[in-house]
Structure 1
Amino acid sequence: MSMFAFEPNPDPVPAEERARQLIDPGFGRVFTDHMAIAQYDEGTGWHDAKITTRQALTMDPASSVLHYAQEIFEGLKAYPRPNGGAALFRPDANARRFNASARRMAMPDLPEELFLESVRALVRADIGWMPQREDGALYLRPFMFASEVFLGVKPAARYLYIVMASAVGSYFKGAPSVSLWVTREYTRAGPGGTGAAKCGGNYATSLIAQAEAIRNGCDQVVFLDAVERRWVEELGGMNIFFVFEDGSLATPPLGGTILAGITRDSIITLARDMGLQVREEPYAIEQWHADAESGRLTEAFACGTAAVVTAIGSVKGAEGEFAIGGQSVGPVTQRIREKLVAIQRGTAPDPHQWVEEIA
């Protein structure tokens, strides 16, 4: 029996309109009929879990999240299956990371089974919104925020947990690779900060650097470390990998300033399954430039739940610009992407039991 009571939407989007929206949903603009919701009160814990109509929230202007930013979120996808059903990819890892973020932001843990059942139940309720296209999926956005009404700097005593679902296609469209801008003025996170937590503030502070990238004709921003301003860390919302001429891969190490990406972790495992050496080690921006120009570095790619695996074609900064390989999807990047997507979509074996079929 589900932990979530079901209150069906009395006025769902008509089937004809839903079909029209699913032709080309883009990313993060087409939302389903329902949402999952649960409440937390200090002393009583989590309660009133239900799947209900997706609707606007009514908030008091003194709600503590609006003043002290106790807010975290996750991102995962439900993928269409060859048999017409749907499946989740490593949702248990998202549940664990959600609680790691909660602890960093002085928020209560959410029982992992509550997290898992919330996404399962929502997908079952809105399976009709699954885009039937090669790149289609339901993007799931679990989030939690402090809802206590008070003005005072302390952890809140009340929280709201919600999961929304959005029908999506590709995150990046068009070009075979993306271009990066190396920001020297802004950093994403510092030691002891919230870099490893998936909280909205990290993304808010990246937006000015992303705007800087756009002004300089680039698709995305890449951040360097906050101490020496030379070690590559991650993009505005994605992890990064480097591929070398000997076939080995490297990625910046986790250490509190980089988000522990689930796609990142999956790629490390899959690459090693393929017999490739993967190193988690610091990589300096000047070394990246030199290796790209000498040919030692042959490919680079960004990865994340939304972007999956996306080739990086060029890098630009105040010190100049350099290209990577042929500015297209390299063979190693392509192999890794195909392997990952095949497991997610059920067209290849799942040796690590990452996939959970739910509908």
Structure 2
Amino acid sequence: MERTNRSRDIRQFDLDDLKELMKELRQPAFRAKQLYEWVHEKNVCSFDEMTNLPAGLRQSLTETFAFKVPTELVKQVSKDGSRKYLLEFSDGVSVETVGMPNRNKLAVCISSQAGCAMGCAFCATGLAGLSRSLTAQEMVDQVLHVSRDFGERVTSVVFMGQGEPFANFDNTVEALRMLNDPEGLAIGARHLTVSTCGVIPGIRRFAELPEQFTLAISLHSAIQTTRNQLMPGVKKFTLLRLHEAIQEYVEKTGRRPTYEFAMIDGINDTNPEMQALVDFCAGTLCHVNLIQLNDIPDSPFRPSPIEKVEALQRRLTMHGVETTIRNSRGGDIDAACGQLKQRRFRAR
């Protein structure tokens, strides 16, 4: 193994790499396991925190390797306890991440890309365009940052922040496995949820994974013309083909996908829209999350009245479709679904 300069992130090393490194540094083999635990289980950000390593080894590691953790540019705290972070990576690219505490649990909403190329009409992220995809480590780093800030273990992660995870499929799956690793954060596979706009090749690849990760689909309309208007980036993945792909996913995995449905006044809350959603879901294994659209500055869209949301819930339930009205978190700090836009104002 060649000596590496300090631009190398120590967290890129697996246990075998660290064993080789300890040999090179003439350290006992057990030091590799100690180092691995500090890096991957105890979530430290510096070698100085590794108190059971000799001072000389810590100094050598500090001179040779780095922890390329993101820098927190802005943090905002919601009245509901949620916290939104603007995190900047070493190349200057930034993303937003949200931590959502609930009793003894801590959920994190992470970004898979800086920006998004899908161009969804009701989403602030999509309106901003795509900068680049994130690495698996950059996705995991968002979770680690939230865990450190709250001083708590993260119990669930949703890939529902900026970006389309299936447009960054390999890195997303690597991040899922890092989060699920029993020797790392050890978050259960069913508590790791990936949300896609409906990228069919990604859904099919996701169905082949051995782990029981959870799938969510941003649906928002079961009428093609409306969906094309709201979600132009997935026009080519028609609802008919999407429905087929989801049923193949269910048959292959036995798992229940979730449909995200943000209700928009006068757009997808009409009687024909409601009936189309009922028809799309009826007789299939699925769960529908109904959400009142979150306000975005300068957007022509407005949230549906809660009465319409409740009416659609009743209608779906009557047809045997499991349905929840989701209360968005962090709306007062633009941390709710569709609001993430990398704004750099200070916490209020």
Question: Relative contact order (C-alpha < 8 Å, sep 6+): which is higher?
Answer: 1
Same fold (TM over 0.5): no
Q: Which has the larger radius of gyration?
A: 2
Q: TM-score range by the shorter chain?
A: under 0.3
TM-score by length of 2: 0.27
